[in-house]
Structure 1
Amino acid sequence: MKRLAAFLIALCLVFCAPFCGALADDGAESADLLGNGSPTAADAARMLRLLCLTPAQANGHTECDLTQNGSVNCSDACAALMCACGEISDLDAFAERLSTGLLGEKYFDRFYYAGVYDDLNGNYKSANVSVSIITGRAYDNDYFLADIYVQDIACLTNVFSQDEYMGDTETAAKLLSRCESGIVGINGDFYSLNLFGPLVRNGVKYVKNITRALDIAILCKNGELLTYRYRILTADMLATLDVYQIWVFGPALLDDNGNTKTEFRSHVTARNPRSVIGYYEPGHYAFLIVDGRREHSMGITMKDLSSFCKELGFTRAYNLDGGQSSVLQSKSGAINIPFDGGRTLSDLFVVCDLPQE
């Protein structure tokens, strides 16, 4: 403990000396960055990261390279404080997780490296997954968003009803329970109603043909989410992709440049409950539900949904089956209020954790 304390003091001096005067001038009375009533070591870690905007000339201090990337920077300072407050239990395992993850060091302080935090309501943290549930009002409707960070694409998985392709439909709760380490799930494209292709789930191809009638979404194994307007995707294009999941429903809610749209390949553009997969970058996603068909939340139009996705910062977004199917499911129950109690489903797209070693 004394060694760690000395290390923290030295590291803070290396990184923070230029900023001490500025902090004093600000006269801040509280370091409670998390808004939890009192400052903690986690608050200090996040504050230190905010302050370290200029790269430190500290690469000679190899003992400070906690992320083991060959460079000493603000990430190492943040990691040290996370370790001090118990959020990292094994520095070698921590560095290994960062070196192989989809996000690398980016957003690493959103994860938890000393076990698992799970409130059973969708909020979850481990070394592999971070999920935060956000609720609010937009366009006169209630929305429910799971903000998702994963270091491994296997933390996003499709679950079929009855655990089999074309199995009889089941409730969202039952579908989530079929995934042993499932955290939160969103209804999919209800593939079994039409069997449009191509259909790939968890890397397995079930339907080969490519429909020309609908927009298509593809999640690749490198974590990238791609959307294609109808009649664009070809077999040759598909063959170049390392595909993990494909949905055929739509429409795509943002154009090829990530901007809003006003025209959609859909006949259901009026106010309705909606389900959306949102994408920021490989490793960072969102499940979005907008409730509808009730007094204070009548549903959102496709045009407004496109605008909302842009406001949320999505770079790509894809509309899934909506209406009575729309559900964001946690272990303790539905997070949103599905219309008329919801309906049974053929598939659920689930955030899950990797097996704990």
Structure 2
Amino acid sequence: MTHEKRKPRRRLLAAGLVVSLLTMGGVAYGLADRYLIEHVEAVVTPNTVAVNSDSETTASSSSSENNNSSSSGASSTSVPSAEADESTKQATADDWNYKSEDTQIAIKKVETGSGSDKVTYYVADVQVKDASSLLTAFAKNAYGRNITQDTSEIASANNAILAINGDYYGFRNDGVIIRNGTLYRNEPARDGLALYDDGTMAAYNEEEVNAEDLIAQGVTNTFSFGPVLVKDGQAVTDLENVKIDTNFGNRSIGGANPRTGIGILSANHYVFVVVDGRQANYSKGMTLTEFAQLFEDMGAKEAYNLDGGGSSTMYFNGRVVNSPGSKGQERGVSDILYIAH
């Protein structure tokens, strides 16, 4: 009799275990789907136009469609071409410098402090003839979520002479994402960065400016990360407790960390900066306040913080210049900002 009474109890326990396992499995799949599984929403031909994953070219001039644009129906505009007559460029290069008729790049490695207070960072001074040389690229030439490649792989695939990691747009669902003249995402959320076809750049509030207006004003690329580091030549203050978004695992990024950022000195004259960090006696990283001050000290009129931490990577002339992550190894990212050969 006692044995018979135990059977229903065992069945209930077994049923409860099955339900728990299914629930845990569902949660695990949900997390994997959100943060690990690739979701390709648009395949991109490098430096040309966006096409859907079913290979149909997308083009929409309707503002009503573009105002609600997502990457599943990216709106296309004219895109700057990276092609040029090689015979006129006559480029010369070494490990730290590149010069052609329309591009000059000079990279320097800077070390400050010592021991546990040592900081190592890299500054690329970039001057281009016009903004068409400043381009962006997606990992695996595909727009979507959780699509990643090392910065060096994306750069090599796009014939970049210089590249830094972008904003890791594929980790989040919001932000305004315009790349090489095409609007891929229109979900305003934070202070973004706009690069213009006249060689200038400026921060803007995504919730206050329409994406279609940005394109009409000549914006070729936007980044949605931040915060803004320098505005009108002055370093932004009160950066100690900045949070970029509320995605899984995010926290305040104000402390000493690896950093990537871009600043502008004048039209078509930029500085790309990558700070190494989390590596004892080599580089502890920089706080956001220190990073902002660095850009101001270099004379930047505007500067913006891009994705940092293990993502922070500078690629130049076929090699990774800095020591990414905590072990000097690259971490896959979703996008880069680069200068083409």
Instruction: Quote the offset at 1:232 in angstroms.
Output: 4.5
> What's the secondary structure of 2:257's corresponding residue?
coil
Residue in structure 1 matched with residue 18 of structure 2 by the alignment: none
Rounded to whole Å, the distance in 2 between the matches of 1:272 and 1:126 is: 34
Letter of the structure 1 residue corresponding to residue 151 of structure 2: A
Residue 326 of structure 1: which of 297, 312, 320 is its match? 312
Change (3 A) 1:343 1:235: closer
> What's the secondary structure of 2:143's corresponding residue?
coil
TM-score normalised over the length of structure 2:
0.65
Letter of the structure 2 residue corresponding to residue 286 of structure 1: V
Residue in structure 2 matched with residue 127 of structure 1 by the alignment: 101
Residue in structure 1 matched with residue 119 of structure 2 by the alignment: 141
Change (3 A) 1:253 1:232: farther
Unaligned runs of at least 5 residues, structure 2: 1-87, 244-251
Alignment of 1:179 onto 2:158: yes
Instruction: Quote the offset at 1:240 in angstroms.
Output: 5.1
Instruction: Quote the offset at 1:231 in angstroms.
Output: 4.8
Q: Tell me if the contact between 1:122 and 1:183 (Cα under 8 Å) persists in the aligned partners.
A: no
CA-atom RMSD in angstroms: 2.1
Instruction: Quote the offset at 1:235 in angstroms.
Output: 5.2
**1:224-274 residue CA offsets vs partner (Å, 9 max, x unmatched):** 10112575545586365211000000000013x221122234321000000
TM-score normalised over the length of structure 1:
0.62
Alignment of 1:262 onto 2:234: no
Instruction: Quote the offset at 1:178 in angstroms.
Output: 1.1
- Matched length: 237
> What's the secondary structure of 1:307's corresponding residue?
helix
> What's the secondary structure of 1:348's corresponding residue?
strand
Change (3 A) 1:244 1:122: farther
Percentage of identical aligned residues: 30
**How does 1:1-357 map onto structure 2 within 5 Å?**
115-119=90-94, 121-138=95-112, 140-166=118-144, 168-180=147-159, 182-211=160-189, 214-229=190-205, 231-234=207-210, 238=214, 241-255=217-231, 257-264=232-239, 265-266=242-243, 267-296=252-281, 297-339=283-325, 340=327, 341-353=329-341
**1:191-236 residue CA offsets vs partner (Å, 9 max, x unmatched):** 111132211000011012322xx22100011111011257554558
Rounded to whole Å, the distance in 1 between the matches of 2:296 and 2:188 is: 28
Q: Which structure would you say has the larger RCO, counting Cα contacts within 8 Å and 6 or more residues apart? A: 2
User: Runs of 4 or more off by more than 3 Å in structure 1?
Assistant: 229-240
Rounded to whole Å, the distance in 2 between the matches of 1:162 and 1:203 is: 19
**1:48-95 residue CA offsets vs partner (Å, 9 max, x unmatched):** xxxxxxxxxxxxxxxxxxxxxxxxxxxxxxxxxxxxxxxxxxxxxxxx
Rounded to whole Å, the distance in 2 between the matches of 1:323 and 1:188 is: 12
> What's the secondary structure of 1:217's corresponding residue?
strand
Letter of the structure 1 residue corresponding to residue 284 of structure 2: M
Q: Tell me if the contact between 2:161 and 2:318 (Cα under 8 Å) persists in the aligned partners.
A: no
